[in-house]
């Protein structure tokens, strides 16, 4: 299983509180490219930022209320997982920062983690070569 730049969906109160503490007041009102793309990427690839913003704009087709989980995800449920799992985040991810990824990994028995330098909440977009290599290497070993 791969979980990249997510938040994992865990509903345990300690984790929900942690994620709320990560986001400062007004976080959701900040420009989406600030929240999801790293400062490095925004600085060096303005064309990529524009393309990312256009894809983001086109992906929202109605009033967004968020996804409703199909399953109840808890720390206890994660402890029972029996599949290898790769967790990826960027070192500049403001939504799922490396400490949150490491906490999440504590509850998954067979996991590997990767923190990609110079990337935010869109590692696959900002660092596609690194992202693809991580995923393909992981799949190749499992």
As for how many domains the chain has, the answer is 1
Q: What is the pTM of this model?
A: 0.90
What domain range includes position 11? 2-141
Q: How many residues does the chain have?
A: 142
Q: Are strands 111-116 and 2-4 parallel, antiparallel or unpaired?
A: unpaired
pLDDT of residue 108: 95
CA distance 132 to 50: 22
Could you give the CA distance from residue 44 to residue 67 in angstroms, rounded to a whole number?
A: 32
pLDDT, position 70 = 77
CATH of the domain at 37: 3.40.50.1820
Q: Give residue 67's pLDDT.
A: 62
How large is the average pLDDT for residues 93-109? Answer: 93
Q: Is the pLDDT of residue 115 over 90?
A: yes
């Amino acid at each position: 299983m791969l979980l990249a730049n997510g938040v994992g969906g865990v509903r345990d109160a300690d984790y929900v509180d942690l994620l709320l503490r990560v986001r400062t007041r007004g976080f959701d009102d900040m420009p989406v490219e600030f929240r999801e793309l790293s400062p490095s990427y925004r600085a060096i690839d303005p064309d990529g930022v524009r393309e990312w913003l256009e894809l983001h704009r086109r992906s929202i087709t109605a009033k967004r209320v968020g996804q409703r989980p199909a399953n109840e995800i808890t720390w206890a449920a994660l402890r029972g997982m029996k599949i290898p799992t790769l967790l990826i985040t960027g070192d500049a991810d403001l939504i799922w920062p490396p400490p949150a990824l490491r906490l999440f990994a504590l509850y998954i028995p067979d996991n590997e983690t990767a923190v990609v330098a110079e990337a935010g909440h869109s590692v696959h977009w900002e660092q596609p070569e690194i992202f693809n290599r991580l995923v393909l290497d992981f799949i190749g070993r499992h």
